[in-house]
Structure 1
Amino acid sequence: MDLKFEMIVLPVSDVDRAKAFYEKVGFRLDVDYTASDKFRAVHFTPPGSECAIIFGEGMTNIPPGSFQGLYLIVSDIDEAHGELANRGIPVSEVFHDEGGLLHHGHEGGRCVHDDKGQRRITGRHPERASYGSYLTFSDPDGNGWVLQEVKKRLAGR
Protein backbone atom coordinates (compact mmCIF):
# COMPACT_ATOMS: atom_id res chain seq x y z
CA MET A 1 0.00 0.00 0.00
CA ASP A 2 1.36 3.42 -0.94
CA LEU A 3 0.72 6.19 1.56
CA LYS A 4 1.52 9.69 0.37
CA PHE A 5 1.55 12.65 2.71
CA GLU A 6 -0.96 15.05 1.16
CA MET A 7 -1.65 18.07 3.35
CA ILE A 8 -1.08 19.89 6.63
CA VAL A 9 -3.87 21.94 8.21
CA LEU A 10 -2.00 25.06 9.30
CA PRO A 11 -3.35 27.17 12.18
CA VAL A 12 -3.53 30.89 11.32
CA SER A 13 -5.36 33.85 12.84
CA ASP A 14 -5.95 35.97 9.72
CA VAL A 15 -6.69 34.07 6.53
CA ASP A 16 -6.06 36.95 4.12
CA ARG A 17 -2.78 37.89 5.82
CA ALA A 18 -1.62 34.25 5.66
CA LYS A 19 -2.71 34.00 2.02
CA ALA A 20 -0.70 37.10 1.10
CA PHE A 21 2.34 35.76 2.98
CA TYR A 22 2.36 32.34 1.29
CA GLU A 23 1.86 33.96 -2.12
CA LYS A 24 4.87 36.16 -1.36
CA VAL A 25 6.95 33.12 -0.34
CA GLY A 26 6.13 31.61 -3.74
CA PHE A 27 3.70 28.82 -2.86
CA ARG A 28 1.12 28.06 -5.58
CA LEU A 29 -2.46 28.95 -4.71
CA ASP A 30 -4.59 25.91 -5.56
CA VAL A 31 -7.95 26.75 -3.98
CA ASP A 32 -9.61 29.64 -2.17
CA TYR A 33 -13.09 28.36 -1.40
CA THR A 34 -15.70 30.05 0.78
CA ALA A 35 -18.77 28.00 1.69
CA SER A 36 -20.15 30.42 4.30
CA ASP A 37 -19.04 33.13 6.70
CA LYS A 38 -17.91 30.29 9.02
CA PHE A 39 -15.99 28.17 6.52
CA ARG A 40 -13.23 29.13 4.12
CA ALA A 41 -10.45 26.89 2.84
CA VAL A 42 -7.25 28.25 1.29
CA HIS A 43 -4.97 25.60 -0.19
CA PHE A 44 -1.33 26.20 -1.22
CA THR A 45 1.40 23.92 -2.55
CA PRO A 46 5.12 24.73 -2.25
CA PRO A 47 6.84 24.70 -5.66
CA GLY A 48 8.01 21.18 -6.51
CA SER A 49 6.13 19.57 -3.62
CA GLU A 50 3.39 16.97 -3.63
CA CYS A 51 2.39 17.87 -0.07
CA ALA A 52 0.35 21.02 0.51
CA ILE A 53 -0.89 23.28 3.29
CA ILE A 54 -4.45 24.35 3.91
CA PHE A 55 -5.78 26.99 6.30
CA GLY A 56 -8.88 29.09 6.71
CA GLU A 57 -12.00 29.69 8.76
CA GLY A 58 -13.48 26.66 10.48
CA MET A 59 -10.45 24.48 9.66
CA THR A 60 -8.87 23.79 13.07
CA ASN A 61 -9.00 24.68 16.76
CA ILE A 62 -5.21 24.53 17.12
CA PRO A 63 -3.82 27.89 18.29
CA PRO A 64 -2.29 29.98 15.47
CA GLY A 65 1.49 29.72 15.29
CA SER A 66 1.61 26.31 17.01
CA PHE A 67 3.41 24.46 14.23
CA GLN A 68 7.22 24.38 14.35
CA GLY A 69 9.72 22.43 12.30
CA LEU A 70 7.84 22.34 9.00
CA TYR A 71 10.64 21.15 6.72
CA LEU A 72 11.10 22.03 3.08
CA ILE A 73 14.10 20.86 1.09
CA VAL A 74 16.04 22.91 -1.43
CA SER A 75 18.96 22.04 -3.68
CA ASP A 76 20.86 25.28 -2.96
CA ILE A 77 20.46 26.91 0.45
CA ASP A 78 22.22 30.14 -0.57
CA GLU A 79 20.00 30.55 -3.61
CA ALA A 80 16.89 29.90 -1.48
CA HIS A 81 18.08 32.42 1.11
CA GLY A 82 18.60 35.06 -1.56
CA GLU A 83 15.26 34.43 -3.25
CA LEU A 84 13.28 34.57 0.00
CA ALA A 85 15.13 37.69 1.16
CA ASN A 86 14.49 39.35 -2.22
CA ARG A 87 10.80 38.55 -1.81
CA GLY A 88 10.85 40.40 1.53
CA ILE A 89 10.58 37.31 3.71
CA PRO A 90 12.51 37.66 7.00
CA VAL A 91 14.85 34.64 7.00
CA SER A 92 17.56 33.50 9.37
CA GLU A 93 21.18 33.32 8.37
CA VAL A 94 22.21 30.08 6.71
CA PHE A 95 23.50 27.78 9.43
CA HIS A 96 24.53 24.24 10.17
CA ASP A 97 24.14 22.17 13.28
CA GLU A 98 27.10 21.50 15.54
CA GLY A 99 26.22 17.80 15.64
CA GLY A 100 25.90 17.33 11.89
CA LEU A 101 22.60 16.28 10.39
CA LEU A 102 18.95 16.97 11.23
CA HIS A 103 18.78 20.16 13.17
CA HIS A 104 16.03 19.72 15.74
CA GLY A 105 16.62 22.68 18.03
CA HIS A 106 14.16 25.08 16.45
CA GLU A 107 11.12 26.95 17.61
CA GLY A 108 9.95 30.02 15.76
CA GLY A 109 13.37 30.22 14.11
CA ARG A 110 15.24 30.20 17.45
CA CYS A 111 17.45 27.47 18.83
CA VAL A 112 15.80 25.94 21.90
CA HIS A 113 18.50 23.39 22.74
CA ASP A 114 22.01 24.41 23.66
CA ASP A 115 23.06 20.83 24.37
CA LYS A 116 26.22 19.63 22.64
CA GLY A 117 25.34 18.81 19.09
CA GLN A 118 22.40 21.19 18.94
CA ARG A 119 24.08 24.55 18.57
CA ARG A 120 23.67 26.61 15.42
CA ILE A 121 26.90 27.46 13.65
CA THR A 122 26.67 30.34 11.16
CA GLY A 123 27.27 29.30 7.56
CA ARG A 124 26.78 26.20 5.44
CA HIS A 125 27.83 22.76 6.59
CA PRO A 126 31.67 22.67 6.19
CA GLU A 127 31.54 19.80 3.66
CA ARG A 128 28.28 21.10 2.16
CA ALA A 129 26.81 17.72 3.10
CA SER A 130 23.26 16.95 2.08
CA TYR A 131 20.85 17.45 4.98
CA GLY A 132 23.46 19.62 6.73
CA SER A 133 22.67 23.30 5.98
CA TYR A 134 19.56 25.19 7.01
CA LEU A 135 17.70 28.44 7.23
CA THR A 136 14.47 29.25 9.02
CA PHE A 137 11.55 31.61 8.64
CA SER A 138 8.13 31.99 10.22
CA ASP A 139 4.76 33.04 8.88
CA PRO A 140 3.00 36.07 10.43
CA ASP A 141 1.45 33.85 13.14
CA GLY A 142 4.78 32.24 14.07
CA ASN A 143 4.41 28.86 12.37
CA GLY A 144 8.06 27.91 11.90
CA TRP A 145 9.57 26.64 8.66
CA VAL A 146 13.00 25.07 8.18
CA LEU A 147 14.66 24.90 4.78
CA GLN A 148 17.21 22.12 4.53
CA GLU A 149 19.72 21.77 1.71
CA VAL A 150 19.63 18.35 0.05
CA LYS A 151 22.00 17.82 -2.85
CA LYS A 152 21.74 14.02 -2.86
CA ARG A 153 18.88 12.09 -1.24
CA LEU A 154 19.58 9.20 1.12
CA ALA A 155 19.22 5.74 -0.43
CA GLY A 156 15.61 4.68 -0.74
CA ARG A 157 14.25 8.22 -0.67
Structure 2
Amino acid sequence: MDWKLEVVVVPVSDVDRARDWYRDRMGFVLDHDQEVGPGRRIVQLTPPGSACSIVFGTEIGAGEPGSLQGVQLVVDDIEAAREELLGRGFDPGEPAVMAPGDGGTFLFFADPDGNGWAVQQYRGG
Protein backbone atom coordinates (compact mmCIF):
# COMPACT_ATOMS: atom_id res chain seq x y z
CA MET A 1 0.00 0.00 0.00
CA ASP A 2 1.30 3.47 -0.88
CA TRP A 3 0.92 6.22 1.73
CA LYS A 4 1.20 9.51 -0.09
CA LEU A 5 1.41 12.89 1.53
CA GLU A 6 -0.55 15.14 -0.79
CA VAL A 7 -1.75 18.16 1.22
CA VAL A 8 -0.39 20.23 4.09
CA VAL A 9 -2.80 22.64 5.78
CA VAL A 10 -1.21 26.04 6.40
CA PRO A 11 -2.92 28.22 9.03
CA VAL A 12 -3.18 31.82 7.78
CA SER A 13 -4.89 34.99 8.97
CA ASP A 14 -5.64 36.54 5.57
CA VAL A 15 -6.52 34.15 2.74
CA ASP A 16 -6.03 36.64 -0.11
CA ARG A 17 -2.66 37.84 1.22
CA ALA A 18 -1.46 34.25 1.68
CA ARG A 19 -2.64 33.21 -1.80
CA ASP A 20 -0.89 36.16 -3.40
CA TRP A 21 2.32 35.60 -1.42
CA TYR A 22 2.62 31.88 -2.16
CA ARG A 23 1.69 32.38 -5.82
CA ASP A 24 3.55 35.60 -6.61
CA ARG A 25 6.53 35.53 -4.22
CA MET A 26 7.14 31.79 -3.92
CA GLY A 27 6.00 30.79 -7.42
CA PHE A 28 3.56 28.10 -6.29
CA VAL A 29 0.93 27.14 -8.87
CA LEU A 30 -2.63 28.11 -7.93
CA ASP A 31 -4.70 24.92 -8.29
CA HIS A 32 -7.99 26.04 -6.75
CA ASP A 33 -9.53 29.10 -5.16
CA GLN A 34 -13.20 28.46 -4.64
CA GLU A 35 -16.15 28.74 -2.35
CA VAL A 36 -17.27 25.25 -1.39
CA GLY A 37 -20.18 26.31 0.78
CA PRO A 38 -21.52 29.31 2.64
CA GLY A 39 -18.56 31.00 4.32
CA ARG A 40 -16.18 28.19 3.35
CA ARG A 41 -13.36 28.91 0.91
CA ILE A 42 -10.50 26.63 -0.10
CA VAL A 43 -7.27 27.76 -1.74
CA GLN A 44 -4.82 25.10 -2.91
CA LEU A 45 -1.36 25.76 -4.34
CA THR A 46 1.42 23.42 -5.39
CA PRO A 47 5.16 24.10 -5.53
CA PRO A 48 6.48 23.52 -9.07
CA GLY A 49 7.48 19.86 -9.47
CA SER A 50 5.89 18.75 -6.19
CA ALA A 51 3.34 16.00 -5.65
CA CYS A 52 2.30 17.67 -2.38
CA SER A 53 0.20 20.83 -2.19
CA ILE A 54 -0.64 23.33 0.51
CA VAL A 55 -4.18 24.36 1.36
CA PHE A 56 -5.71 27.14 3.43
CA GLY A 57 -8.92 29.08 3.51
CA THR A 58 -11.84 29.87 5.73
CA GLU A 59 -13.11 27.14 8.03
CA ILE A 60 -10.11 24.98 7.03
CA GLY A 61 -8.15 23.13 9.71
CA ALA A 62 -7.31 24.19 13.19
CA GLY A 63 -4.19 25.92 14.38
CA GLU A 64 -3.15 29.47 14.87
CA PRO A 65 -1.69 31.45 11.96
CA GLY A 66 2.07 31.04 12.09
CA SER A 67 1.98 27.76 14.03
CA LEU A 68 3.17 25.56 11.13
CA GLN A 69 6.93 25.12 11.42
CA GLY A 70 9.55 22.97 9.73
CA VAL A 71 8.03 22.25 6.33
CA GLN A 72 10.82 21.68 3.79
CA LEU A 73 10.98 22.22 0.07
CA VAL A 74 13.79 20.17 -1.51
CA VAL A 75 15.77 21.42 -4.51
CA ASP A 76 18.76 20.21 -6.53
CA ASP A 77 20.52 23.60 -6.51
CA ILE A 78 20.15 25.90 -3.52
CA GLU A 79 21.90 28.82 -5.25
CA ALA A 80 19.54 28.60 -8.25
CA ALA A 81 16.57 28.45 -5.86
CA ARG A 82 17.83 31.52 -4.02
CA GLU A 83 18.31 33.40 -7.31
CA GLU A 84 14.77 32.52 -8.37
CA LEU A 85 13.37 33.85 -5.10
CA LEU A 86 15.46 37.01 -5.39
CA GLY A 87 14.08 37.46 -8.92
CA ARG A 88 10.57 37.29 -7.45
CA GLY A 89 11.41 40.13 -5.06
CA PHE A 90 11.84 37.89 -2.02
CA ASP A 91 15.17 37.60 -0.17
CA PRO A 92 15.43 34.33 1.75
CA GLY A 93 18.89 35.24 3.08
CA GLU A 94 22.14 33.36 2.57
CA PRO A 95 22.26 29.55 2.40
CA ALA A 96 23.29 27.83 5.63
CA VAL A 97 25.49 24.75 5.23
CA MET A 98 24.47 22.17 7.84
CA ALA A 99 26.28 19.11 6.47
CA PRO A 100 29.14 20.02 4.10
CA GLY A 101 29.82 16.40 3.09
CA ASP A 102 26.43 15.69 1.56
CA GLY A 103 25.32 19.12 0.45
CA GLY A 104 22.88 19.58 3.35
CA THR A 105 22.36 23.29 2.74
CA PHE A 106 19.29 25.31 3.71
CA LEU A 107 17.49 28.59 3.25
CA PHE A 108 15.07 29.48 6.04
CA PHE A 109 12.14 31.86 5.77
CA ALA A 110 8.65 32.54 7.04
CA ASP A 111 5.44 33.49 5.27
CA PRO A 112 3.60 36.70 6.24
CA ASP A 113 1.93 34.90 9.18
CA GLY A 114 5.18 33.44 10.52
CA ASN A 115 4.74 29.87 9.27
CA GLY A 116 8.31 28.54 9.10
CA TRP A 117 9.71 26.99 5.94
CA ALA A 118 13.06 25.69 4.75
CA VAL A 119 14.48 25.10 1.29
CA GLN A 120 16.90 22.16 1.42
CA GLN A 121 19.55 21.01 -1.01
CA TYR A 122 20.68 17.45 -0.30
CA ARG A 123 23.10 15.47 -2.43
CA GLY A 124 23.54 12.45 -0.19
CA GLY A 125 22.14 9.12 -0.95
TM-score per shorter chain, which class?
over 0.9
Instruction: Give percent identity, aligned residues only.
Output: 45
Greater percentage in strand: 2
Superposition CA RMSD, Å: 1.4
Contact kept? 1:73, 1:149, Cα under 8 Å? yes
> Which segments of 5 or more consecutive residues in structure 1 lack a partner in the other structure?
101-124
Is 1:60 matched up with 2:61?
yes
TM-score, normalisation: structure 2: 0.92
Alignment coverage as a number of residue pairs: 124
Question: 2:118 matched to which residue of 1?
Answer: 146
Paired with 2:5 and 2:46, the residues of 1 have a C-alpha distance of 12
Aligned counterpart for 1:135 among listed residues 90, 103, 107: 107
The Cα shift of 1:150 comes to 2.5
Larger CA Rg, structure 1 vs 2: 1
Secondary structure in structure 1 of the residue aligned to 2:2: coil
TM-score, normalisation: structure 1: 0.74
- Letter of the 1:61 counterpart: A
The Cα shift of 1:36 comes to 4.0
- Letter of the 2:122 counterpart: V
Alignment map for 1:4-153 (pairs within 5 Å): 4-24=4-24, 25-97=26-98, 100=99, 125=100, 127=101, 129-130=102-103, 132-151=104-123
- Letter of the 1:142 counterpart: G
Secondary structure in structure 2 of the residue aligned to 1:89: coil
